[in-house]
Amino acid sequence: MNEPIGPVDATRVPRYGGDTTFARLPRLADVPDADVLLWGVPFDTGVSYRPGARFGPNHVRQSSRLLRPYNPAMDAEPFAVRQVADAGDVGVNPFDIQEAIGTIERSARELSGTRRTLLTIGGDHTIALPLLRVQHERHGPIAVLHFDAHLDTWDTYFGAPHTHGTPFRRAAEEGLIDFEHSMHVGLRGPLYSKLDLDESERLGFAAVHSREFARTPLDTIIERIRARLGSRPVYLSIDIDVLDPAFAPGTGTPEAGGLSSRELLEVVRGLADLNVVGADLVEVAPAYDHAEITGIAAAHVLYDLLCILPGGR
């Protein structure tokens, strides 16, 4: 087997120069094949408040230039153990949500092929639906670990079924989710009514609310999550607004009282050895970011995610 082609060597080409791929990894076209692909879905037509997540993928790439090859927290070299590459962005229609969802689904299917793991950079949370459809084709009903301030199980907005507040309701209706083993993490903020929580529970989602992080030891929370997911194939859907606006100001629907980046990174690391089969990281909206705070948090979450994937260490 050929050695994986890693990121550009920062001792030869300084980090701030050259092509902007995630972690300065090679592009898919420049490697014989890849085991793990990062790709961007620059789509935000589903947002209900501040727009701008369409600029998320390139912002996260730009904010990932300082990542280094060795991750001491996981004793891992994620770019050395297998081929990771950046597959660029998919061209999605910003004026037609249905068409965009179809394009995302087809592209995800094509890119994953028979064996590749996809890490998708959004884009708003609408994009989780087509991504879950492709996971379902491979694994059947899939355990979803959903990091978010919001439930995203709402029914419609202005009568529209496909928005960033509704992907998990649609996915539930399509039978894509294994509710015995699915969970929200980081919920908080005002709701439309108490029924919002009841409906999510009725669908079958368990939940760790953000406020529980204030009083419960992190290891206890990680244990609860691991027990819920078990040995099932797990899909991670990470809305960056799970972080407190202090740690992720660059997002469209910020809510106070969220996780710190340290807490989120520790929870992600705590998922090591579970069967994580894919992930998305959504809702980074760079227009509201400062000094790449949100972009850097997103890049580091993806980096640790690469290390917890089966075979990532």
Ligand X SMILES: N=C(N)NCCCC(=O)O
CB-wise, 55 or 79, nearer to Zn ion?
55
Task: Give the one residue of 71, 253, 261, 294 binding ligand X; rule: CB under 6 A.
Answer: 253
Whether 152 has a binding-site annotation, put simply, is yes
Residue 27 CA to residue 19 CA, distance in Å, equals 10
Q: How far is the CB of 155 from ligand X (least distance, A)?
A: 12
Site for ligand X contains 45 (CB under 6 A): no
Q: How far is the CB of 250 from Zn ion (least distance, A)?
A: 13
Whether 241 has a binding-site annotation, put simply, is yes
Whether 148 has a binding-site annotation, put simply, is yes
CB-wise, 241 or 280, nearer to ligand X?
241
Site for ligand X contains 54 (CB under 6 A): no
Q: How far is the CB of 148 from Zn ion (least distance, A)?
A: 4
Residues at the interface with Zn ion (CB under 5 A)? 125, 148-150, 152, 239, 241
Q: How far is the CB of 128 from ligand X (least distance, A)?
A: 9
**Residue 146 contacts which entry, ligand X, Zn ion, none (Cβ below 5-8 A, type-dependent):** none
Task: Give the one residue of 165, 250, 258, 278 binding ligand X; rule: CB under 6 A.
Answer: 165
Give the number of residues written for the chain: 313
Residue type, position 145, single letter: L
Give me the sign of the Cα torsion angle 238, 239, 244, 246: positive
Residue 281 CA to residue 56 CA, distance in Å, equals 10
Residue 69 CA to residue 7 CA, distance in Å, equals 8
Task: Give the one residue of 61, 139, 150, 232 binding ligand X; rule: CB under 6 A.
Answer: 150
Whether 125 has a binding-site annotation, put simply, is yes
Site for ligand X contains 164 (CB under 6 A): yes
Site for ligand X contains 152 (CB under 6 A): yes
Residue 130 CA to residue 105 CA, distance in Å, equals 5
CB-wise, 78 or 252, nearer to ligand X?
252
Residues 36, 42, 46, 51, Cα dihedral to 10°? 130
Residue 210 CA to residue 308 CA, distance in Å, equals 23
How many angstroms from the chain centroid is the CA of residue 189?
21
Residue 56 CA to residue 120 CA, distance in Å, equals 11
Q: How far is the CB of 165 from ligand X (least distance, A)?
A: 4
Q: How many helices (H) and strands (E) does the chain have?
A: 8, 8
Site for ligand X in 277-296 (CB under 6 A): 283
Residue 63 CA to residue 68 CA, distance in Å, equals 13
Q: Binding pattern to ligand X, positions 215-244, x when CB under 6 A? A: ------------------------x-x---
Query: What one-character-per-residue DSSP string does 114-169 give?
Result: TT-EEEEEES-GGGHHHHHHHHHHHHSSBEEEEE-SS------BTTBS-STT-HHH
First to last CA, the chain: 17
Q: How far is the CB of 284 from ligand X (least distance, A)?
A: 11
| Residues lying near ligand X in the complex (CB under 6 A) | 48-49, 125, 150, 152, 164-165, 239, 241, 253, 283
For the annotated binding site for Mn(2+), the residues are: 125, 148, 150, 152, 239, 241
